[in-house]
Amino acid sequence: MQLLLNELVEKNRQWVHFGKVATYIPELKNANPNALGIVIVDIEGNVYRAGDYREKFTMQSVSKPITLMLALMDRGAEFVFERVGMEPSGDAFNSMRKLETINPSKPLNPMINAGAIAVTSLILGNSYEEKFQRILDLFRKISGNPNLQINESVYLSEKRTGDRNRSMAYFLRDVGILEGDVESILDLYFKQCSIEVDCEDIARIGVFLANQGIMPDTKEQVVPKEITQIAKTFMVTCGMYDESGEFAINVGVPAKSGVGGGIMCAVPNRMGIGVMGPALDPKGNSIGGLKMLQVLSKELSLSIF
Ligand code: GLN
């Protein structure tokens, strides 16, 4: 396995030159466009690392299935899905065009920005500080990394420039999906997106999902199985934005990407995979990461279909 991963990174490094790092959040421009790394953590606890696996990146949209699980634990599925739908949008992750035209007016799913902001607004806590602490605590727990923190400059950079998300959030309050202080809700969302991780952190969250919400080492059930099933289903149908169908055919595992360059995969009952490569394709997915996962899926017969 180790040799396979080393070769995987070396053979696919060339792809990073065909992608671009995200720049719409100014601070993301500083990411290393040539970085490419991968970590696999299997259900037995073996860990394999290759390439630039030590590079740190912010979770961005990789955070969305995790806050969804917290909101589902806090509020129950009925309450959550009254405010956000279950269908792929077919549009870009930051698109707002269907928000007004669908009836009832609610975001199509929790993996697009509008849906994720709505989900984050549902997390319980007596104050916004407490709500963020609860989010961070869950990320720390399921990654097994008690040191996870936000990257302050990425957070401030998105807070300063996130007008597209801001406009969607105000729209969502107007139609009654969001309640409360819009700026505080956005602040919480920007913080969740700015949590800084490495490949191993997201591979560990991946294996936790693959293991139905049970910590593979302590056997503690942290998230109910049914809730992890919901999160993984959204990862299959919407996890790679408007490239989810192609990814399902070429790789075929529940996965979630983010514009920081991360891709987290949960291969049911087998392994978690964490990939990083900040050079993105036009849809916002790590270009080198996608190529590596395609090859890996064939080599290890990972497709769940
Ligand atoms: N924080 C980013 C945003 O809201 C997350 C988007 C992403 O990773 N696709 O635009």
- Nearest partner of 259 among 6, 22, 10, 8, judged by Cα: 22
- Nearest partner of 202 among 110, 283, 271, judged by Cα: 271
Given a contact cutoff of 8 angstroms between Cβ atoms, the answer to whether 263 and 283 are in contact is no
Q: Give per-residue pLDDT as tens, 115-174.
A: 999 999 999 999 999 999 999 999 999 999 999 999 999 999 999 999 999 999 999 999
Which CATH number among 3.40.710.10, 3.30.565.10, 3.40.50.720, 1.20.140.10 corresponds to the domain 61-193?
A: 3.40.710.10
60 pocket-lining for ligand 1 (C-beta < 6 Å): yes
Helix (H) or strand (E) holding 288: helix 287-300
**Fold (CATH) for 2-59+197-298:** Beta-lactamase (3.40.710)
Rounded distance from Cα 242 to ligand 1 centre (Å): 14
Helix (H) or strand (E) holding 265: strand 262-267
- Nearest partner of 195 among 260, 245, 244, judged by Cα: 260
Residue 104: is its pLDDT beyond 80? Answer: no
61 pocket-lining for ligand 1 (C-beta < 6 Å): yes
Mean pLDDT of 219-223: 97
Using the atom order of ligand 1, give the atom closest to the CA of residue 257. 8
Indicate which residue's Cα is closest to atom 4 of ligand 1: 113
Rounded distance from Cα 78 to ligand 1 centre (Å): 26
Mutation pick for ligand 1 pocket among 21, 94, 281 (CB with most ligand atoms within 8 Å): 94
Using the atom order of ligand 1, give the atom closest to the CA of residue 116. 4
Given a contact cutoff of 8 angstroms between Cβ atoms, the answer to whether 40 and 199 are in contact is no
Rounded distance from Cα 93 to ligand 1 centre (Å): 7
ipTM metric: 0.96
Question: What is the per-residue pLDDT for 95?
Answer: 85
Residues annotated as part of the active site: 61, 64, 189, 241, 259
Question: What is the per-residue pLDDT for 103?
Answer: 75
- Nearest partner of 68 among 80, 85, 83, judged by Cα: 80
* Share above pLDDT 90 across residues of the chain, in percent, rounded to a whole number: 94
* Share above pLDDT 70 across residues of the chain, in percent, rounded to a whole number: 100
93 pocket-lining for ligand 1 (C-beta < 6 Å): yes
Q: Give per-residue pLDDT as tens, 64-77.
A: 999 999 999 999 99
Question: With bands split at pLDDT 50, 70 and 90, how would you rate the model's confidence at 97?
Answer: confident
193 pocket-lining for ligand 1 (C-beta < 6 Å): yes
280 pocket-lining for ligand 1 (C-beta < 6 Å): no
Rounded distance from Cα 215 to ligand 1 centre (Å): 27
3-state secondary structure of 41: strand
Q: Give per-residue pLDDT as tens, 5-18.
A: 999 999 999 999 99
Domain with CATH 3.40.710.10 in the chain: 2-59+197-298, 61-193
Between the alpha carbon of residue 97 and those of residues 91, 92, 185, 227, 239, the distances in Å are 9, 10, 21, 29, 19
What is the layout of strands, in order, in the sheet containing 195-197? 57-58, 195-197, 149-150
